[in-house]
Amino acid sequence: MIVTERYPQKSLYYLGGELIEFLNKNNIKYSLFELYEHFKKYQKIELKKFILLLDWLYLIDMIKITDDGCIVKCS
């Protein structure tokens, strides 16, 4: 894989891995804003990029949204 970003730790690939690791450790259902507030303490990220990150992880079936609107990691 060729990384074209100057700071790869800000890429969706890296942040996606960090978010999946975060969800693995805690194994809790989060609402959108709860997850953002907790993950923001762990990894500095702005809301716009966080939403894009969730979209990407949802598209590749790494996370899902439960019937009550919570975000969980797919098993």
Q: What range does the domain containing 55 cover?
A: 10-73
pLDDT per residue as tens digits for the range 15-26: 999 999 999 988
CATH code assigned at 38: 1.10.10
Count up the domains in the chain and report the number: 1
What average pLDDT does the structure give for the chain? 89
Tokens of 27: 């194994």
User: Where residue 7 falls among pLDDT bands split at 50, 70, 90?
Assistant: confident
Query: Is 17 domain-assigned?
Result: yes
Q: Judge whether 2 lies within some domain.
A: no
Q: Is residue 27 part of a domain?
A: yes
